[in-house]
Structure 1
Amino acid sequence: MEVLVYLVPLALSLGFFGLLGFLWSLKSGQYDDLDGAAWRAITDEEPNEPSVPIQIVKMDQDIRGSGRQRCPREC
């Protein structure tokens, strides 16, 4: 029974932190568009924004298109 002295405050503090996290997510707008995410998961349309930033794609194309290897140890 002595363990309850530790477990009850621990359970109450974890519940309090969970409540604070839930209230923070409500305030920050995490639950504003619940149906939009579900429809985006099942539609076949491509997103309007590229998933990889354009600058990284251009750098990758420059490296692949140069024709030379970048690893001096393996050359």
Structure 2
Amino acid sequence: MDSLYLLIPVALVFVAVGIKLLLWAIDNGQYDDLDKEAWRIIAEEQKHDAKHQPEEGKRQQP
């Protein structure tokens, strides 16, 4: 029972720090545009594929 007098305040401090970090991240725009990075990866793959595909109008030399 005596350990609860220590563990409950420690747990409340951890919760308070977690909430503070979450609010800090929201205020700094960490959650503003969640889809941008996913689309950026797809766009980079498309650019990479376009660079390595031969153009249709050019003939390849045998």
Give the TM interval when normalised to the shorter protein.
Answer: 0.5 to 0.7
**For 1:20-73, what per-residue CA distance to the aligned partner results, in whole angstroms no more than 9, with x for missing partners?**
000000000000110111222333137xxxxxxxxxxxxxxxxxxxxxxxxxxx
CA distance in 1, matches of 2:41, 2:30: 17
- One-letter amino acid of the counterpart of residue 12, structure 1: L
What is the aligned-residue identity percentage? 43
Higher relative contact order (CA 8 A, sep 6+): 2
After the TM superposition, which residues 1-75 of structure 1 pair with which residues of structure 2 at under 5 Å, given as runs? 1-43=1-43, 44=45, 45=47
Q: How large is the Cα RMSD of the aligned pairs?
A: 1.5
Segments of 4+ in structure 1 off by > 4 A? none
The aligned amino acid for 2:30 is Q
Q: Higher helix fraction: Structure 1 or Structure 2?
A: 2
- Scaled by the length of structure 1, the TM-score of the pair is 0.55
Q: Give the TM-score of the pair, scaled to structure 2.
A: 0.66
Equivalent residue pairs, number:
46
Q: 5+ unaligned residues in a row in structure 2: which ranges?
A: 49-62
